[in-house]
Amino acid sequence: MKDDVLIQVNWGLNTVRLNNASEVSDGPKWTTLTYSSPATKFEIGANGAKDIVSWNASYTNVFQFSMLNSAAPLQYEVVISSGGLDYYFFILGDTLVGQNQAGHGGGITIDKVGIKKVSLQ
């Protein structure tokens, strides 16, 4: 699906928009989605806060992705158990995967969680 995505970290105020995806066929079984704004970065530190990703194992980061043309946002709880490195996260369909700058995913726990809908009446 071609769609823009909005990204929010730890309920922050800095919502990042990645622009419309284009599909590139890599053969009969694979399709790669690319974005005209392919990446964004957030600050990382020992203590997580709005718009800051924590590498402290006792802190659960919340990553939220919203597709502009989809009713249901995706939300993930991410725990990083080691600091001192840069971390990279990738959206693959409705799956979030991560690795550190050395290309290893060890020390990163990602759980997909449901979004509670609140009715404002």
- Give me the tens of pLDDT residue by residue for the chain, a chain 121 residues long: 456 777 888 888 777 777 655 555 555 554 444 444 556 778 888 888 888 888 888 999 998 888 776 667 888 999 998 877 888 888 777 788 888 888 888 889 999 987 655 444 4
Structural domains in the chain (count): 1
Is 27 within the bounds of a domain? yes
Residue 35 lies in a domain: yes
In a domain, 90, yes or no: yes
Is residue 120 included in any domain, yes or no? no
Pure H helices in the chain: none
Question: 10 Å Cβ neighbour count for 108?
Answer: 19
Cα–Cα–Cα angle for 96, 99, 100, rounded to 5 degrees: 145
Tally of CB atoms within 10 A around 20: 14
In a domain, 118, yes or no: no
What is the domain range of residue 48? 5-113
pTM (2 d.p.): 0.71
Report the alpha-carbon distance of residue 110 to residue 73 in Å, rounded: 16
Examine residue 121 and state whether it is found in any structural domain, yes or no. Answer: no
